[in-house]
Amino acid sequence: MSEKKETKKKIPTDYRKAEIDLRLKEMEQRERQDNKWLELENKRLDWEMARHVEDKEDQKQLYGLIAKALDGPVADLTRNLGSAVAKRLEINTPSKEIGTVKIKCLNCLKYFPIIVGQPMVVCPYCEAISKLDC
């Protein structure tokens, strides 16, 4: 009778051991899968960080080029346009005296004020006489 008891006890123990071994293998397999997933996730994050750094460097280069352009030819162009607009505004604004405007001499190309309604004017700089169409 003792042999029967030992056999009964041995079978469940072997069964339990096999079940435990199977569960351990499953846990190891899950752990490997999780490690692979974490490894892939880390690689993806590294790639995104590298891309972000590269984008930042590209932006720095772009801003540097824009700054150089604004310091060089664009600055000269805007400065020239600004002064040209200022001259236009200065020329086309009526002078402080009532009934006068500034005109450009056709001979010396300088501006001078005249009284509105005069048929002829004399340039104060070169003394050229001009006929006006009023």
pLDDT score, position 133: 73
pLDDT at residue number 81: 73
The domain segmentation of the chain, as residue ranges, is 2-71
Q: Would the pLDDT of 92 be above 60?
A: no
pTM over 0.75: no
**pLDDT 10s digits, 4-35:** 556 555 556 777 888 888 888 999 988 888 88
According to the model, what pLDDT value does residue 71 have?
77
Q: What is the pLDDT of residues 35-91, one digit of tens each?
A: 888 898 999 999 999 999 999 999 999 888 877 777 776 677 777 777 777 676 666
| Type of residue at 69 | A
pLDDT tens string 93-123: 555 556 788 888 889 999 999 888 788 889 9
State the Cα–Cα distance between residues 80 and 82, nearest whole angstrom: 5
